A = this chain, B = another copy of it.
């Protein structure tokens, strides 16, 4: 969690993840793509329909007890049985970012239970959060999830609960992209 982990999600006609559905939840859509290719660096490839960049590094809201509880339960990305994935880019509105740290934390966890709720879905759902806001990207976060086909229902339930939370009142752009691993 202490390293800088950059990533570029490249939407186009090739890639190791095949798009099965793109759903615009809020705000402006993204152009439809067939595949997403992930490069673990910040790049601007020429042949892509779009590219979304982010950096995974330190936690922004989690406290020590929460970090330890998550680490004890979570599993990493790249599990062979986790052939389903979701890429959900999210942007929050100006009212969210105008809040101080304590106000954002209160809505994030004490009111919306973002961490506690997500914890119930560990280790079935593996996740990684990429931060994009400092990069001047169109989204603030790129959330990435990997799970076995049998856990898709559970993942849908988690996403529905988060979208019904107070925190999500501040989300003004969200695209839900579902993928399966491209074994060819």
Contact = CB atoms under 8 A, between A and B. Distances in A.
Contacts of A54: 134
Contacts of A98: 1-2, 58
What is the total number of copies of this protein in its complex? Answer: 2
Contacts of A28: none
A133 to B, nearest CB: 7
Please classify how large the interface on chain A is, using the bins under 10, 10 to 19, 20 to 34, 35 or more: 20 to 34
Interface stretch (A63-71, A145-153, A175-183): A63-71
A62 B97 CA distance: 13
Interface stretch (A74-82, A101-109, A117-125, A161-169): A101-109
10 contacts: A4-B134, A42-B136, A54-B134, A55-B133, A55-B135, A57-B133, A58-B99, A58-B133, A63-B103, A64-B102
